[in-house]
Every structure is written in C-alpha cells, then in structure tokens.
C-alpha cells in the first residue's frame, strides 16, 4: 500500500515542489489550495505519472471549510502518513507602526491559525493509528525579526513554538514532528508579499542564487524518509550567500 501525504498550499512554490517530490518518491497525495484551476492541472499531471491524487479546494483560514473538506476523506485517505503544513504568505514590508492591519490579520489567520486548524483536524487520526509525520514550513524569519518583517516574523516564530509544542504532546507516540525553516526561496512569495509588484519582487533575488522550491522539497522528503526512530526536529536551510534573515551577500555583477 502506497503512503499518502497531505500538502497544503500545493498550487505554487514549495508546496507544488513537495507534491512533485513526494509523488516521485512513491506517495499518493491529497493536495489543497484555493486556486482550483492550478490544483486540477497539477492533479492531472501527477495522475499521468501514476500517482493517485485527491484535490481539496479550500481556504485554510476557513476552519469550517477545512473541516468539511477533511471529512470527505475516507479509507486510507482519512489518515495521511505525512501532513505538510505549507500554505502561508507574507504581506508587506512596512514598519510595524505603519503596517496594514488587514495584512496582519491575513498572515496570522493563514500562517498560524490555518496551520493549527489542519493540525487539529489531521493529527488525531495519526495518534489513533499510531503513525504519522507532521512537517511544518517555518522560516528563518521565525529565528529573529528583520526590518519590516515584524508580523510575518512573529507568525513564523509561532510556527516554531507550535511545532515544538506538538512534538512534546506526541512524544509518547511514534509520530514525528519537523520544522523546515527556509531562507530565500524563489517562488511567488515575494510577488504576493508586494501585492503583485513583480519588479520589486524580482529585486529580492538579485545578486544571489536563491533556493528553489525543489531544494526545500528535498529536505522535507529526507525528513519523511528517515528511519522511524530518527526525528528530524528542525532544519534551517539557507542559500549559500545568506547568513541569517537580515544578512545576505549580493554580488554586483
């Protein structure tokens, strides 16, 4: 019986790369996201390659929608072997005293409350079955605040604490809990952060070779593939010329 992985935010970037990596690694997939068109396209593509895929279209901020979507899963799909809590975003880079309260709420509702909702809905089945692995996508941004990062950094610091808390709460079970903390990864992240200002988004990755979604998917897959007694608790993954959330060396050429 093939293993199953549930990946939130699989319609783009790191989540999409995880979908491809886990499919290639022999998993069947439950893919979630809000963009039904991209979700359907990825499902079709992966099914062509022999992966069974269930697509669930919902907003992780909507706990009722999430609950209803997860309730449709039956049989082996009801308790995935791996949950990758990836859906998330940054909005804005303003000073804390000038930031948009709407943006703050969206980040908090998605990155913290959405991740908690999915954890609450999926982990009880893992505990009951005595197997499972939760991989949360945190960030170097959760290690320390950087200029303008304020609320986004706080959400990723929360992801670290929530991940550590879950690891403690399932320590008596075989369930493993991992926090993967990427640095600069070139995805739609900066386009979303700057509300579609692509020129500004492109500058984030100028003068440095950033990570790709595939680089992060490799790390998540490695954690999921470790022997059952090995728990990759936390991994900080940076581009070679990035040293921390606020220290990046950029070449001038």
3-state secondary structure of 236: strand
Q: Provide the angle, in degrees to the nearest 10, between the axes of the packed helices 13-24 and 36-48.
A: 20
Identify residues 178-217 at the interface with ligand NDP (CB under 6 A): 182, 184-185, 187-189, 192, 213
Residue 156 φ/ψ, nearest 5 degrees? -80, -25
CB atoms within 10 A of CB 229: 7
Are 4 and 23 in contact by the 8 Å Cβ rule? The answer is no
Of 137, 107, 133, the closest CA to residue 15 belongs to 137
Please pick, from the candidates 6, 23, 87, 175, the single residue that binds ligand NDP as defined by CB under 6 A.
Answer: 87
Identify residues 20-79 at the interface with ligand NDP (CB under 6 A): 33-35, 59-61
Identify residues 125-164 at the interface with ligand 8X3 (CB under 6 A): 139-141, 149
From ligand 8X3, ligand NDP, none, which one binds at residue 132 (CB under 5 to 8 Å depending on kind)? none
By CB under 6 A, residue 208 contacts ligand 8X3: no
Diameter over CA atoms, the chain: 55
Alpha-carbon distance 145 to 152, whole Å?
9
Nearer to ligand 8X3, 51 or 111 (CB): 111
Identify residues 141-170 at the interface with ligand NDP (CB under 6 A): none
Q: Provide CB contacts within 8 A for 216, sequence distance 6+.
A: 14, 17, 18, 137, 180, 182, 185, 237
By CB under 6 A, residue 245 contacts ligand 8X3: yes
From ligand NDP, ligand 8X3, none, which one binds at residue 61 (CB under 5 to 8 Å depending on kind)? ligand NDP
Identify residues 168-207 at the interface with ligand 8X3 (CB under 6 A): 183-184
From ligand NDP, ligand 8X3, none, which one binds at residue 245 (CB under 5 to 8 Å depending on kind)? ligand 8X3
**Catalytic residue status for 222:** no
**Look-up of token digits 């809990």:** 177
Residue 183: CB minimum distance to ligand 8X3, A: 6
Residue 175: CB minimum distance to ligand NDP, A: 21
Of 39, 32, 54, 19, the closest CA to residue 221 belongs to 19
Size of the site for ligand NDP (CB under 6 A): 29
**Look-up of token digits 């804005």:** 92
132 sits in the region (left: phi over 0; alpha: psi -120 to 50; else beta) called left
* Residue with the shortest CB distance to ligand 8X3: 139
DSSP 8-class letter at 144: S
By CB under 6 A, residue 92 contacts ligand NDP: no
Footprint of ligand 8X3 (CB under 6 A): 139-141, 149, 183-184, 245
Binding stretches for ligand NDP (CB under 6 A): 8-9, 11-15, 33-35, 59-61, 86-89, 110, 114, 137, 139, 182, 184-185, 187-189, 192, 213
- Catalytic residue numbers, as ranges: 152
């Amino acid at each position: 019986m093939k293993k199953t992985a549930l990946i939130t935010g699989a319609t783009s970037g790191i989540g999409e790369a995880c979908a491809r990596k886990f499919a290639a690694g022999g998993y069947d997939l439950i893919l979630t996201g809000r963009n039904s068109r991209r979700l359907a396209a990825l499902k079709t593509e992966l099914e062509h390659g022999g992966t069974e895929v269930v697509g669930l279209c919902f907003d992780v901020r909507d706990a009722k929608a999430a609950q209803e979507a997860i309730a449709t899963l039956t049989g082996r799909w009801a308790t995935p072997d791996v949950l990758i809590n990836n859906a998330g975003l940054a909005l804005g880079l303003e000073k804390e005293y000038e930031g948009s309260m709407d943006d703050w709420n969206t980040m908090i509702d998605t990155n913290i409350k959405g991740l908690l909702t999915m954890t609450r809905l999926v982990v009880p089945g893992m505990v009951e079955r005595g197997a499972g692995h939760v991989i949360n996508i945190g960030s170097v941004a959760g290690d320390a605040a950087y200029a303008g990062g304020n609320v986004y950094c706080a959400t990723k610091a929360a992801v670290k604490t929530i991940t550590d808390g879950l690891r403690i709460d399932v320590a008596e079970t075989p369930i493993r809990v991992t926090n993967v903390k990427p640095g600069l990864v070139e995805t739609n992240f900066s386009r979303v952060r700057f509300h579609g200002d692509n020129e500004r988004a492109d500058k984030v990755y100028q003068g440095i070779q950033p990570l790709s979604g595939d680089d992060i998917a490799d790390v998540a897959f490695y954690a999921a593939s470790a022997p059952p007694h090995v728990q990759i608790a936390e991994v900080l993954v940076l581009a070679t010329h990035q040293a921390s959330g606020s220290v990046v060396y950029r070449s001038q050429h």
